[in-house]
Chain A
Amino acid sequence: MHEMSLAENMLQLIEDAALEQQFAQVKTVWLEVGQLACVEKDSLRFYFDVVTRDSIAQQARLEIIEIPGQGMCKQCNQTVLIAAHYEACPHCGSYALQITQGDGMQIRELEVE
């Protein structure tokens, strides 16, 4: 359900950008989604198609760029890649990881005309 809210927020950001940057049609949206962000990508694609109907982003291609999850291990001080919050440090097995990347979501770029 909240993927629909996120898709709605995306459209609003795109419409705001359209006013600022003066464009009338969006062809492609590049979206960064962190591996640790609580977002279901297929669901987001589905709702993006639904909420952009008859908008300036109608039929825009949604390109999702996955940002790997990354954490700093507080025990061995190494930066490690993790795919989920419950993963342990691959070096020392500690769960004391501070997430440093991959828990957000942002629109990076638009192809417009």
Chain B
Amino acid sequence: MCTTCGCGIGQTRINGKSIQSHNHSDKPLNYRLLRQSPSHEHHPMPVNADHAPDTLHFGTGIAGTHAPGMSQARMVKIERDILAKNNSYAGENRRYLSEHGILALNLVSSPGSGKTTLLVKTIQALQNKLPIAVIEGDQQTDHDAARIRATGVPAIQINTGKGCHLDAHMVGHAMQQLSLQDNSLLFIENVGNLVCPSGFDLGEAHKVVILSVTEGEDKPLKYPDMFHAADLMLLNKCDLLPHLTFDVGLALEYAHRINPALPVIQISATQGSGMSAWIDWIKAECRHTPASK
């Protein structure tokens, strides 16, 4: 069971191979074993023999001498961030990326906004200028990684199984397998989902949200967390605007209600319009990324 993505045991796969689930046992959830601390070696917690052998039942209280009916209840202040574990993995990823001068961009959007086509076109525009690698996230199939590899750039596919987003731990594993080059560019294409990926830091420099004009103008209002978390918005499929009733001004107004400083670039990944502005944005970000020593 992956603790951050909620997927089932062994369901997260990187290039078809399952990854070691992080910090939890292979046992099903209902057999969570509480590890004993060293100070408890001489006072093992009482175990109820009626239970399965790998289930500890702490029925009699930690003091051991606890009399029935007497409550040992006490308050414990812990004040811990629920996402702290993911964030610490994200911190490790960020440290690694920064030490190696790698710019990482996390591409997020609904399914079908054109992320993979955008990536392929972006890679074609940049691959002679700097080394590029890609981490692809999808629930199933390695179709997207295959499309990226066809450009000649290394790509790793993460299949999240039942999971709805990539987390920092999965991305850390994928980064290790990719053997990233120093002073390179890493694209992370998240699972197509405008909800959950917003809450999970992967260690990237920026989240780039892609909205396509075949969707509704009010997506930023309907899914505000993602537009709030993003540092750049790409409005894709703009070549289709003459055939649609999509109101660009309204979409931008809604996006800026959620994130007033959000820069927006209007593009068509298939036809090429606006792509030079996007490529320039990436190059400027690369220049702002300190080179590896």
Contacts and interface: CB of A to CB of B under 8 A. Distances in A.
Interface in B239-256: 254, 256
A42 interface: no
A100 interface: no
A112 B74 contact: yes
B278 to A, nearest CB: 25
A8 B1 contact: yes
Contacts, number: 151
Contact of A13 (B32, B40, B84, B199): B84
Contact of A27 (B73, B84, B165, B256): B73
Nearest to B221: A86
B1 A85 contact: no
B284 interface: no
Interface string B248-268: 000000101110100000000
B29 A9 contact: no
A15 B34 contact: yes
Interface string A86-107: 1010000001110100001111
B207 interface: no
Given A5-B5, A54-B32, A85-B224, A112 B76 contact: yes
The listed residue with most B CB atoms (<10 A of its CB), out of A20, A24, A99, is A24
B83 to A, nearest CB: 7
Given A1-B196, A54-B31, A111-B74, A85 B258 contact: yes
B199 A85 contact: no
In the complex, which range does the number of interface residues on chain B fall in? 35 or more
B72 interface: yes
A9 B258 CA distance: 28
A27 B71 CA distance: 11
Interface in B21-48: 23-24, 29-32, 34-35, 37, 39-40, 45
Given A2-B199, A5-B3, A10 B228 contact: no
Interface in A15-52: 15, 17-25, 27, 37-38, 51
Interface of A: 1-2, 4-6, 8-15, 17-25, 27, 37-38, 51, 53-56, 74, 84-86, 88, 95-97, 99, 104-113
Given A13-B82, A51-B29, 13 more contacts: A6-B83, A9-B82, A9-B84, A12-B24, A23-B74, A24-B62, A27-B73, A95-B258, A104-B81, A106-B80, A110-B76, A111-B74, A112-B74
